Structure 1
Amino acid sequence: MDLELRHLKIVRAVADAGSLTRAATVLGLAQPALSTQLKRVERVLGGMLFVRGREGVRPTALGELVLERARVLLPAVCELQEDAVRLARQGAQGYRLGATHGPLLGGLVDRIAQDEPDVPVTTYTSWSEKEVAGSVADGRLDFALVGVCGESAPPEPGRLAWMEVARDPVHVMLAEGHPLALAPPREVELAELAAEAWADVPGDGCFGDCFAAACVRAGFTPASVYEADTASCVHLVQVGRAVGLCRATFPATPGVVTRPLAGTPLLWRHLLGWHPAARAAARAPEVLERARAAHSEALARAVAPRRPAG
């Protein structure tokens, strides 16, 4: 029989517990089974490891030697396993991108594919910015592309590094037959929409609270809010059942007209996050540059009228 790590764990457990009975309980073994395994380890090592007495067990000189080495080897192997898992999760190559639903993930993937056509890219999306950020913090993803409302702090601020990709004013989506859509393009006061039903996508950030607060400041409470996926929200707007909220990068969509909200009562910040100790951190500057380029392209494709400068 060759000596294995599990044998060293048995020796350490017996020494730490001070008795075979307590060690068997810790290891989840029957005491006779533990005694048998310990005897096998002692035969392999050539002598007794413990002296048994009324008050329990104490290590022999050989036992002390084995324990001294075990207490070095076992933590080192555990650390090796943890490092190996983290490295495997980070991936030796490629990009693992996580994002909440928005216009930038596709543009970022496209730019990476153009610049590095042979490098694999995998993506994961979720309504939860906390879930995406947590996956980066735990090493399951390399980068998080999320949005936060206004100046709100991003998730996992103590574990991840964050950089701002861009800022977008939040616009309103209207059916093309809506009176405000038929009128000459202009900024819309939020109060003009007080009687409307609203459609919005879910999320675990503070955007819903910020929207409710903006409505209160405008003098009303939303009559109803439909929480649905992006396609359903757009459909409700197209058929005139609701108005919706979108970023300035919202693409041209049949049956939908977008207008900026006067005074910019709501703001959306696109952020890129990564773990500063991860291997992928070295690529963060180029990923950030590509994400900013993707935002510029999305903004150029949007049809919402721009607010005049000054």
Structure 2
Amino acid sequence: MELELRHLRTIRTIAEAGSLTRAATLLGLAQPALSAQLRRIERALGGALFERGRHGVRATALGELVLERARIVLPAVSGLQQEAARFARARREPERLRLGGTHGPLLGALVDRLAEAVPDATVTTRASWSERELAGLLAEGRLDFALAGTCGSAAPPDATQLVWREIAVDPVFVMLPAGHRLAAADEVGLAALAGEDWACVPGDGCFADCFTAACARTGFAPRRMYETDTASCVHLVQVGRAVGLCRATFPTTPGIATRPLAGTPLVWRHVLGWHPETQAPDTAATVLAEARSAHAGTAARSDSYAHWLAGNDRPPAP
């Protein structure tokens, strides 16, 4: 007789019950049938597993060895069965992709790419300015994937629990009113903007500190920073209230010129995150590939970024 998982479960039940009578009741067997099964198991393993007495049964040394192994094997097999069932169920059910992202053209471009790559999937989105909030939603299982960003080489949030993969690294550009004195320049030095007010979208990373440090290196401190949504930033720049900071992929917008900052003092690293225990590797690979294609498309649609890329051998290092 070959040992099977059911035999290990029987041994475990006898040990936990403390008697063959109680174990037989728990297993739904007659006691003589359980005793006969135990004898067959003992013959297969080469010795007695339990000592029988007036007060029940007690594991022998061989029995303790088998029980120790059973305590490892049975939960492992149960976990495997549950994981396989979840995976199979996910493959059978219509796919659903819940995407999160900071506001920007990349999120919309990714949705467009996925509509073609996985046409049967239902795609929903949730936008947030907070990378930490997006990471929390991933960890809680309320999002499947999140598009986020970090300033330079800063680590994404919750990097020990989540998987983050780089999509691309962009220079940070400046948004100027179309009539600004520097709007026609090929690039703009930070020092030339020392007297300006600034506009930027909010966030909870280190970008604001990095910007302040970059200004300090050129000899000035920013006068005022408006942290507000993208539409408001655009309006403040269009009316000449401020100059804005934006990712190089910012789309061409009437009344605004986007220009690179001389020396690329600031860079933005786009990353895609997910929880490794909730996403199949092939799904994650598909979404990551489409995110990178979506970024390439948004970069190509930005005239100023395409011009910058043509004059630079490679994207900026984080």
TM-score (norm 1): 0.69
Structure 2 equivalent of residue 200 of structure 1: 200
Which of the residues 148, 156, 167 maps onto 1:154?
156
| Residue identity (%) | 61
Conserved in 2, the CA contact under 8 Å of 1:275 and 1:281?
no
* Off by >3 Å, runs of 4+ in structure 1: 279-282
Partner of 1:245, secondary structure, is strand
- What displacement does 1:280 show? 4.2
Which of the residues 109, 118, 121 maps onto 2:120?
118
Partner of 1:291, secondary structure, is helix
The residue correspondences of 1:128-167 to structure 2 (distance < 5 A) are 128-167=130-169
Structure 1 equivalent of residue 262 of structure 2: 262
Deviations 1:151-207 (A, max 9, x none): 0000011111111000100000000000001x4x31111100000000011111111
Q: Distance in 1 between the 2:171 and 2:261 partners? A: 8
The residue correspondences of 1:33-182 to structure 2 (distance < 5 A) are 92=93, 93-181=95-183
Structure 1 equivalent of residue 234 of structure 2: 234
- What displacement does 1:138 show? 1.4
Partner of 2:245, secondary structure, is strand
- What displacement does 1:140 show? 0.9
Partner of 1:135, secondary structure, is helix
Q: Distance in 1 between the 2:150 and 2:207 partners? A: 7
Which is further off, 192-201 or 277-286? 277-286
Q: Distance in 2 between the 1:159 and 1:134 partners? A: 10
Structure 2 equivalent of residue 277 of structure 1: 277
Structure 1 equivalent of residue 253 of structure 2: 253
- What displacement does 1:122 show? 0.9
Conserved in 2, the CA contact under 8 Å of 1:274 and 1:281?
no
Deviations 1:53-102 (A, max 9, x none): xxxxxxxx9xxxxxxxxxxxxxx9xx99xx89xx7xx9752111111112
Structure 2 equivalent of residue 309 of structure 1: 312
Partner of 1:179, secondary structure, is coil
Q: Distance in 2 between the 1:107 and 1:232 partners? A: 22
Conserved in 2, the CA contact under 8 Å of 1:133 and 1:144?
yes
Structure 1 equivalent of residue 288 of structure 2: 288
Question: What is the RMSD computed on CA atoms of the aligned residues?
Answer: 2.3
- What displacement does 1:117 show? 2.1
Structure 2 equivalent of residue 21 of structure 1: none
Q: Which amino acid aligns with 1:285?
A: A
Q: Distance in 2 between the 1:283 and 1:309 partners? A: 33
- What displacement does 1:137 show? 1.3
Gaps of 5+ in 2: 1-54, 56-74, 314-318
- What displacement does 1:118 show? 2.3
Q: Distance in 1 between the 2:186 and 2:151 partners? A: 24
Q: 1:259 to 1:279 in 2, by over 3 A?
A: closer
- What displacement does 1:119 show? 1.3
Partner of 1:124, secondary structure, is strand
Structure 1 equivalent of residue 217 of structure 2: 217
The residue correspondences of 1:179-194 to structure 2 (distance < 5 A) are 179-181=181-183, 183=184, 185-194=185-194
Q: Distance in 2 between the 1:260 and 1:280 partners? A: 39
- What displacement does 1:301 show? 0.6
- What displacement does 1:282 show? 3.5
- What displacement does 1:242 show? 0.3
